[in-house]
Amino acid sequence: MPFKMDEEGRNKLIDSVASHKREFEGLLHPLESLTPDKPAVFISVGGGELGDLAITSAKRLYGGASGGVKTVAFDRYQGFPAQDAADASEVFNMMDGELLEKYLKKYVPDPSAPHAIYLEVEKIDTYRAFRLGTEKGYKVMSTPFGPLVCMDRHATKIMFDRLKLKRVDWEYANDDRGVHEAAKDFGLPVIVKPVMTSSGHGTSIVKTKAELDTSYAHAVEHARGIGDEVIVERYLPELKAMGTEITQIVVRHFDENGKITDSFLPPIEHKRPGAAYHESWLPASISGSAAEACKEGAQKIADFMGGIGVYAVEQFVIGDKVYNNEVANRPHDTGLVTRWMLNMDEGGVQLTSTIGLQLNPFSLEISRQGVYGVAHVVLAPPDIEGEMKVSGWDSSRLSALQTKGVRGDFWYFGKPTAYQGRRMGLAVAFQRDLELARRNAEIIAHYAEGCISYGGTS
């Protein structure tokens, strides 16, 4: 690691962002035209549903390799969603920096040729990706240092404070005592999170002293990264009771003058019973002034980080108050709903912007006027043991819902195996009334869950 990941190292990382940004943006150029003889190469490192949305957009929007955009997708298992849609694919452990470099170089031997590398998943050798971007000229988007800042909760919070952004009160702790001290400062409840995590792994909402005693060990045990640090935040009970959550996506892209500019997707609203993504919709129901605050926070972050491509900023909204929570320097799972609700979905936006093409602001407008479009996750059952093969899915049964007046759609990802609660697809429903759309999306999702059958170990 170039930075020791303690408080001082993280501050140095944030200090270095401005100079990295200048250097990296100096390497980026608009792509004037697409040439089938020498296609731009778009590589999705990770090929789940978010990668699939970007990879398929190359064909949908630009005619694929014969139109001038060749796609490549990597993942760790055969049969991953983007594999059959991509022009080429590789299956390997992306945490292995040697292999990651080898395969990137296989498809982009000359980093000065038009290409873009989209880091779709977090479980990759991010430091190798950083070095390939900063030392060898590879176009790791949105920036090669993005994952170092955005995947590290402590570094992200330091960035928020530098930018004077509103966020929940937080402290970091290196041991049990530190967690107790932070809890004393804030008062219970607090939420204790590993520095590196996602989908709530290792996170606990602490309401009692007894829970506090085990929260540090739990966070460290389930952390994704190395180190023994945790983040303690003041818990906002009013978020679930009367607030809502937003993902504000900003895209940095070239404009008609060849300058990098920011454009905004409409705020995407989401609610979650637990910590993981469950349902999201467009348009959002927040107030105009909350929407402005969401946009302002997201713009400051994207401008600070720089590069080109998508930044997705997670925000908590309570009335007109907006708290910035996390940042992803890539498309976001709550944004999958853009496939149905925007003129161009977030995958197309990521591909278009990162290969250096201009983006038409009209692409970011809502396509279905007068309705709410709600997406709801379709999950594998909670009682699966280990990893199981998917033995089939019966799409014809879904049509039964039409007769019940449920209006919607279903996207099946085609993953070859499942484990407990794995995301297998996405249901979507459209209605003028938001609550009805949410109920309908849930009906489709639960019905679809029953159409997938599992059998045998993989």
Ligand X SMILES: Nc1ncnc2c1ncn2[C@@H]1O[C@H](COP(=O)(O)OP(=O)(O)OP(=O)(O)O)[C@@H](O)[C@H]1O
Judged by the rule CB under 5 A, the positions of this chain that interact with Mg ion are 314, 326
DSSP state, 356? T
Q: How many residues bind ligand X (CB under 6 A)?
A: 20
Residue 87 or residue 269: which is nearer to ligand X going by CB?
269
Q: 3-class DSSP state for residue 133?
A: helix
- C-beta of 334: minimal distance to ligand X in Å? 9
Q: How many CB atoms lie within 10 A of CB 166?
A: 14
Q: Is residue 326 near ligand X by the rule CB under 6 A?
A: yes
- C-beta of 245: minimal distance to Mg ion in Å? 9
Nearest to 410 by CA among 428, 396, 423: 428
d(CA 291, CA 269): 11
Place of tokens 């039409």: 402
Q: Is residue 277 near ligand X by the rule CB under 6 A?
A: yes
Q: Where are the alpha helices (DSSP H) in 27-145?
A: 49-62, 64-67, 97-107, 126-136
Residue 189: phi and psi, rounded to 5, are: -80, 155
Residue 138 or residue 170: which is nearer to ligand X going by CB?
170
**Per-residue x/- track, 178-217, ligand X (CB under 6 A):** -------------x-x---xxxx--x--------------
- C-beta of 197: minimal distance to ligand X in Å? 5
Residue 150 or residue 351: which is nearer to Mg ion going by CB?
150
Contact set for ligand X, span 253-272 (CB under 6 A): 272
Considering CB distances under 5 to 8 angstroms, the limit depending on partner class, which of ligand X, Mg ion, none binds residue 89?
none
Nearest to 429 by CA among 417, 421, 439: 439
Contact set for ligand X, span 60-119 (CB under 6 A): none
* From 107-115, 177-185, 274-282, 372-380, span contacting ligand X (CB under 6 A): 274-282
Residue 227 or residue 416: which is nearer to ligand X going by CB?
227
- C-beta of 362: minimal distance to ligand X in Å? 30
DSSP state, 358? B
d(CA 146, CA 122): 11
* From 222-230, 235-243, 338-346, 403-411, span contacting ligand X (CB under 6 A): 235-243
Among 168, 250, 291, 336, binds ligand X (CB under 6 A): 168
Q: Which residue is nearest to Mg ion (CB)?
A: 326
Residues whose CB falls within 8 Å of the CB of residue 272, separated by 6 or more in sequence, listed in order: 245, 278, 279
Residue 90 or residue 233: which is nearer to ligand X going by CB?
233
Q: State which H helix or E strand residue 436 sits in.
A: helix 434-451
**Encoded tokens for 185:** 């400062």
- C-beta of 192: minimal distance to ligand X in Å? 10
Q: Which residue is nearest to ligand X (CB)?
A: 198
Residue 162 or residue 278: which is nearer to ligand X going by CB?
278
- C-beta of 199: minimal distance to ligand X in Å? 5
Residues whose CB falls within 8 Å of the CB of residue 91, separated by 6 or more in sequence, listed in order: 74, 75, 76, 77, 78, 80, 83
Residue 389: phi and psi, rounded to 5, are: -75, 145
Place of tokens 């594998």: 380
Residue 70 or residue 167: which is nearer to ligand X going by CB?
167
Torsion of CA 324, 328, 331, 336, to 10 degrees: -60
* From 2-10, 232-240, 344-352, 391-399, span contacting ligand X (CB under 6 A): 232-240
Rg of the chain over CA atoms, in angstroms? 22
Q: Where are the alpha helices (DSSP H) in 252-401?
A: 288-305, 338-341, 346-354
Considering CB distances under 5 to 8 angstroms, the limit depending on partner class, which of ligand X, Mg ion, none binds residue 236?
ligand X
Interface ranges with ligand X (CB under 6 A): 168, 191, 193, 197-200, 203, 233, 235-236, 239, 245, 272, 275-277, 314, 325-326
